[in-house]
Structure 1
Amino acid sequence: MDESRFVSLRDNLNVIFKNKFFILGLFTAAMLSSFFYCILASPVYVSKTHILVQIGREKLSSIDTMPKESYNIVFRKRTQDIYNEVELLKSTYLIKKIFPRLKKMLIDVNKQYSPQASLLNRMRMKVNEVNDKVKKCARDLLVKTGLASQLSEDQLLLLRFNKAKQIEFIEDSDVIEIGFRWDDPGFAADALNLYAEAYLQEYAEIHKTNTPLNFYYDQINKYRTKLGNLEKELVEYKLNNNISDINGQRKTLIAEVADIENTLRKLQIKQRDLDIKLKQINRMDKTPGEWIETPNIGQLGKKLTDLSNLDQTYFSLKTKRDAISQFYLGSSKKVEILNTQMDLIRHQKAKSLFNILNTEKKALSNQEIYLSNKLNKKRLILDKLNIQEMKIEQLNRERNILRDNFLLYSKKGEEFRISKELDKNKIFSVKIMEPALPPITPESPKKGLILGLTAFLSLFIGFAYSVVHEYFNHTFEDANDFDQHLNIPLLLTIAKSKYLKR
């Protein structure tokens, strides 16, 4: 039965030594290829400059148009402003704008290369020519197959210029880094300076103010006049309607209306009491032999008459009648005379009470009519005051709108004036921190990194190939392999000799 064999360090070294020529050959070929690539590849230089995004002048605001608590404060949205400038720098329009000058500069740079240049430079130029021809053939093939569009030489050069620029926003700062990649350090620096200059011109053109300043002055004067007229109208309206403190006047009227309504309710209660008393007197008047008690009457009734004499006469006659009734029958003439006199006095008192209560009721009715009229007048005044309040609120709203528009145009006019001064003095909110200089060392190719990676990868691939090859190799290497895989004892081994091949 076969058993798995443990792979030891000796086995790995054995694999390496068995395939040492293959590994060394692969390593040598890869290193030579990388070496020649590093020599023949044209170095790429990156020239860099930095743009500082300062306070945006389009965000400036006059201190005179700001509230007091906001004095000496300039509002700005830093991140938004910086990303706006990044997008402007990334636009292809700037490259198109300076393309003729870039092309002329590139032609002048190419003329500077002398035919008597060093052998290495001539070899690089030849490699670049071959590379360009290969790319052109590949592009023509793609165009013929419909996989690419036909582009002119200027268009291809424009795309190359556009790909050469590098735009990066440095986080936690107000700085934008701009780079330009090219195989000539001088051209890279000159092209980047030209690009930065075009950016400043385009920035100034975008934020240039074309609206005449007189427009804002006309609007300011227009709204100042309207605001003054409305203020005058508001003051005259208050004077004509005798309005000083409309809220205080309304509160006073509401209190007066409430007092009148309370007095009217009391009068109505008194009138209902008088009606009840009149019904009771009428009922007692129609009931024979029942004396009419004097109800509670007001001060007016007490002033009109005094009913105490009738009460005394009635009770005096009643006393006499009761005394005579002890000696005479109820149908006797003397008793009937006394009863008749008592009925007359009772009817007289009822009539007097009717007159008193009706007089008091009429007085209450007249007072109710007077208070009702007064209440209606107060309510009309209150309704009028509410209408006047609505009118004043409307005038105040119009005044606030006019004031806001006046302040807005004043603020915009001041901002426009400041912007004009900035344009006049060529003060921008972006600034080139330093001009681009020709780089000393190329950015690529990174020779040390290329050679190091080539060495590592070639050795790794060579060793990996040797291990895989050894894994699929079924040749017996020694007696142990023979005994392990076939389980048969080895009888004889013959040494390899060059004479056996004959």
Structure 2
Amino acid sequence: MVETRPLYSCSDSGNVLQPFELLMAIRRLMEEQSLELINAARLPSHSLRDWVAPCFRHGRLMIVSFLVVLAGVILVTWMIPARYEAQVKILVKRERADPVVNLDPNTPLSTPSLTEEDLNSEVELLKSRDLLEKVVAASGLDTQVKQSFLSSVSEVIEGHPGEQVPPSQLRTVRAVRTLAKSLNVEPLRKTKLILVTYESTDPQLSARVLQTLSHLYLEKHVAVHRVPGALDFFQNQTEQYRQRLLQAQRQLDGFGRENGVVAASMEKEISIRKLADFEGDLQKTRARVAETEQRIRTLEQLEAVTPERLTTQVRKLDNPVLMQHLKSNVLDLEMKRSELLNKFTPDYRLVKDIEVQIAQAREALVKEENNPLHEETTDRNTTHEWIKGELAKERTELTALRAEEAASARVVDGYRSQAQQLNQTEMIQQDLLRSAKLAEDNFLLYSRKQEEARIQDALDQRRIVNVSIAEEPTVPALPSSPHRALNLALGGLLACLVSLGLGYTADYLDSTFRTPQEVEVFLNTHVLASLPKN
């Protein structure tokens, strides 16, 4: 806790302390308490006067610092050499289609759309180290590179690479590193363009470096995107399949001469067609044979039940003599029976015998009456004769049909054997044809690809590729940096900030009391009077 004492008091004699004595007492009190005004609580300032007052109190310091900083900015600005920036724009497109190796001759060429990955690939290709080394060698940048103090220190820290690398290669490495820092490659948004800028102190060198870079980039693009040895490969394959095609054709011709066939498939088709025709005729013949046999059996049955002769006239005649004799015989027997009945009883044996004779005579009479004499007249049966004639013809026709069936069966067997043989021949011939067709397709395919590869080589030689220089680099007429007016404006602003900062810092570090309010706050007592400095 800080002890507070009244600074303005009267002594025992009643005399008032002098101002000098009052200030000395305040100083002693500060030393005793070991307090710094820098850590003391200040009265909060809110007025504009309180903010402007430090500028008047430390005006000399602020003016000097402002002039020093501004002079330094002006000196540095005028000492920085002028740098000239050249630019080139490269258009990436997909107008040139890539060839596609496919058996289908109607396959369209591959023309994919341009993507962001394609643009980024071209950007990385422009930044590739081998391309930058070629640019350095072609533009002579390795002879103009100078080693700065910072680069020397960096090499020392990294382990003295100059001791292991030859001087010429070291200069190239430094030139490539400097070129990579000064070269800016970026794709333009929502376009197919790549902007390449390079900045150096020589405008001619800036344009020359970008011209060399664009020329070498086109060569590298062609070398990267082309297939090495494609033309030679397709030429060798074309010749190889041409020889295979000739060999397959010779084998096919030799096979045809040995087997006596020209087109086995066509001959087999003809044989099968004829085989089908003869098999149809054979089936018809067999059906006719079966029909004829059935007709013969039917005729034989009809012949068996059909008489050879037919009755043409039938007459019924009675036998009057026989009838008269039978009737008289019956009458005589009945008379005898009557005579015997007069003499004997009915059960007498002679009577019974007579009755039996009478019954037999009457039965014979009735039978004769029921079966009169028939007189029939017969003649030859024409139906029977027709059946015999048809039967003879059908048997003859059956013999002919069986002979025809046997001949047709032999022909069918012959064509069937021929078709089977032609089937085997066709399989072998089809295999040879497939080999020849495959060799022909491959020969035509590689012939087309050979021509496409030749066209690709011609396009590469004439630099007709998917990238082109949209804007050639030109020698810049005006420097791109430094911007002196901007640097001076920023330098003035920096000088103002530095001077204000120094003034307010000095005022903050100053332990002098400037107002009675500061004394009251620090001492926690009232000030009765204050004397002006002057």
- Could you tell me the TM-score, scaled by structure 2's length? 0.49
Q: In the alignment, does 2:465 pair up with 1:428?
A: yes
Go from structure 1 to structure 2 and tell me whether the alpha carbon gap of 1:488 and 1:49 turns closer, same or farther (over 3 Å shift): same
Moved over 6 A (4+): 104-107, 222-230, 235-242, 398-408
Work out which of the residue numbers 196, 207, 216 in structure 2 matches 1:178. 196
Q: In the alignment, does 2:28 pair up with 1:16?
A: no
Q: Determine helix, strand or coil for the equivalent of 1:157.
A: helix
Q: In the alignment, does 2:86 pair up with 1:47?
A: yes
What is the alpha-carbon distance in structure 2 between the residues aligned to residue 408 and residue 64 of structure 1?
6
My pick for the range that moved more, 433-442 or 75-84, is 75-84
Deviation at 1:456, TM superposition (A): 2.3
Deviation at 1:106, TM superposition (A): 6.5
Go from structure 1 to structure 2 and tell me whether the alpha carbon gap of 1:104 and 1:469 turns closer, same or farther (over 3 Å shift): closer
Deviation at 1:195, TM superposition (A): 1.9
What is the alpha-carbon distance in structure 1 between the residues aligned to residue 155 and residue 55 of structure 2?
49
In the alignment, which residue of structure 1 is the partner of 2:213?
A: 195
Q: Determine helix, strand or coil for the equivalent of 2:140.
A: helix
Amino acid at match of 1:215: N
Q: Map 1:7-406 to 2 at 5 A.
A: 7-55=46-94, 57=96, 59-60=98-99, 67=106, 74-103=111-140, 135-136=148-149, 138-144=150-156, 147-150=159-162, 152=167, 154-155=171-172, 156-206=174-224, 207=226, 209-210=228-229, 211-212=231-232, 213-218=234-239, 221=242
Quick check: which has more Rg, 1 or 2? 2
The gaps in structure 2 that reach 5 residues or longer are 5-40, 256-262, 273-426
Amino acid at match of 2:67: T
In the alignment, which residue of structure 2 is the partner of 1:269?
A: none
Output the aligned Cα RMSD: 4.6
Go from structure 1 to structure 2 and tell me whether the alpha carbon gap of 1:488 and 1:50 turns closer, same or farther (over 3 Å shift): same
Percentage identity across paired residues of the two chains: 21
What is the alpha-carbon distance in structure 2 between the residues aligned to residue 171 and residue 224 of structure 1?
54
CA contact (8 A) 1:51 1:432 kept: yes
In the alignment, which residue of structure 2 is the partner of 1:257?
A: none
What is the alpha-carbon distance in structure 2 between the residues aligned to residue 21 and residue 102 of structure 1?
54
In the alignment, which residue of structure 2 is the partner of 1:489?
A: 526
Q: Determine helix, strand or coil for the equivalent of 1:59.
A: coil
Deviation at 1:189, TM superposition (A): 0.6
In the alignment, which residue of structure 2 is the partner of 1:456?
A: 493
What is the alpha-carbon distance in structure 2 between the residues aligned to residue 33 and residue 82 of structure 1?
44
The gaps in structure 1 that reach 5 residues or longer are 111-131, 245-390, 498-502
Larger helix fraction of residues: 1
Aligned length: 320
Amino acid at match of 2:508: Y
In the alignment, which residue of structure 2 is the partner of 1:477?
A: 514
CA contact (8 A) 1:59 1:76 kept: no
Q: Determine helix, strand or coil for the equivalent of 1:199.
A: helix
Deviation at 1:440, TM superposition (A): 1.9
My pick for the range that moved more, 400-409 or 179-188, is 400-409
CA contact (8 A) 2:87 2:473 kept: yes
My pick for the range that moved more, 471-480 or 208-217, is 208-217
What is the alpha-carbon distance in structure 1 between the residues aligned to residue 200 and residue 265 of structure 2?
78
Q: Determine helix, strand or coil for the equivalent of 1:432.
A: strand
What is the alpha-carbon distance in structure 1 between the residues aligned to residue 474 and residue 493 of structure 2?
36
What is the alpha-carbon distance in structure 1 between the residues aligned to residue 117 and residue 55 of structure 2?
60
Q: Determine helix, strand or coil for the equivalent of 1:433.
A: strand
Go from structure 1 to structure 2 and tell me whether the alpha carbon gap of 1:98 and 1:465 turns closer, same or farther (over 3 Å shift): closer
In the alignment, which residue of structure 1 is the partner of 2:376?
A: none
What is the alpha-carbon distance in structure 2 between the residues aligned to residue 420 and residue 442 of structure 1?
42
Deviation at 1:73, TM superposition (A): 7.3
- Could you tell me the TM-score, scaled by structure 1's length? 0.52
What is the alpha-carbon distance in structure 1 between the residues aligned to residue 514 and residue 141 of structure 2?
71
